[in-house]
């Protein structure tokens, strides 16, 4: 399973990259706004650290606007992926961009039919938002299972990025479902590392090692 980091914060990205657990990064206008810096500057800095896909989102609504933004964003780094909203205009743009060799990530996916349409259009990635579905009283992970089943049935090659992850159980469930990618907030990734029994075990082994070292 590939781990993407769902953040635009360069320090968080550097820390995770040092540990070798960052296969890509996803950003969105909300995450960029938190950095209080121009998007171009932030993305270029991220691209110095991460060689995997970096998703970048604009605010274009028409196909023409999305294509214009995509042209600009793809100049920033070779690994930039264009986040495109799940709309008719967005899907038109996906077909054109993918034909030109510009990778797209169709975002704000909340149903398997939307994922089917994005997959048929040739999107490189699709981003179903599971946390927001959970917030809305639906089981977000059911959507992941449905999309994976539909893609398998028809040999659709779009990679599924499980997005809007809120806690480690989301990552585990996504992995059990066989999702190829989880985009994980830094805080959630951090909470996946530790276990109190690991800490207790290390302490005990260190103490016992010290005893035999004296012999």
Catalytic hit among 83, 88, 99, 176: 83
Residue 158 has what DSSP assignment?
P
**Cβ–Cβ < 8 Å for 148, 159:** no
- Report CA-CA distances (Å) from 7 to 50, 56, 165, 166: 12, 11, 12, 13
Give the DSSP H/E element, type plus range, for residue 156.
none
Touching ligand G3P, residues 74-133 (CB under 6 A): 129, 131-132
- Least Å from the CB of residue 21 to ligand G3P: 17
Q: Tell me if residue 152 is catalytic.
A: no
Interface with ligand G3P (CB under 6 A), residue total: 9
List Cβ neighbours of 65 (8 Å cut-off, separation of 6 or more): 58
Of 164, 174, 177, 189, which one interacts with ligand G3P (CB under 6 A)? 164
Q: How far is the CB of 208 from ligand G3P (least distance, A)?
A: 44
The answer to whether residue 163 forms part of the interface with ligand G3P (CB under 6 A) is yes
Using CA atoms, how far apart are residues 159 and 15, in angstroms rounded to an integer?
A: 25
Please give the residue ranges that form the binding site for ligand G3P (CB under 6 A): 6, 26, 28, 129, 131-132, 163-164, 183
Catalytically active residues, by annotation: 83
């Amino acid at each position: 399973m590939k781990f993407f980091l769902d953040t635009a914060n360069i320090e968080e990205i550097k820390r995770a990259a040092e540990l070798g657990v960052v296969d890509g990064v996803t950003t969105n206008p909300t995450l960029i706004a938190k950095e209080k810096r121009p998007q171009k500057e932030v993305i270029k800095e991220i691209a110095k650290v991460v060689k995997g896909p970096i998703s970048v989102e604009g605010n274009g609504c028409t196909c023409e606007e999305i294509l214009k933004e995509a042209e600009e964003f793809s100049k920033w780094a070779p690994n930039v992926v264009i986040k495109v909203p799940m709309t008719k205009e967005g899907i038109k743009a996906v077909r054109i961009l993918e034909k030109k060799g510009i990778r797209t990530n169709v975002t704000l996916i909340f149903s398997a039919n939307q994922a089917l349409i994005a997959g048929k259009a040739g999107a490189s990635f699709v981003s179903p938002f599971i946390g927001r579905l959970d917030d809305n009283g639906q089981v977000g992970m059911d959507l992941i299972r449905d999309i994976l089943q539909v893609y398998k049935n028809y040999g659709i090659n779009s990679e599924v990025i499980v997005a809007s992850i809120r806690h480690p159980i989301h990552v585990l469930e996504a992995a059990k479902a066989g999702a190829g990618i989880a985009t994980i907030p830094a805080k959630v990734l951090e909470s996946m590392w530790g276990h109190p029994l690991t800490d207790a075990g290390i302490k005990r082994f260190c103490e016992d090692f010290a005893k035999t070292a004296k012999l």
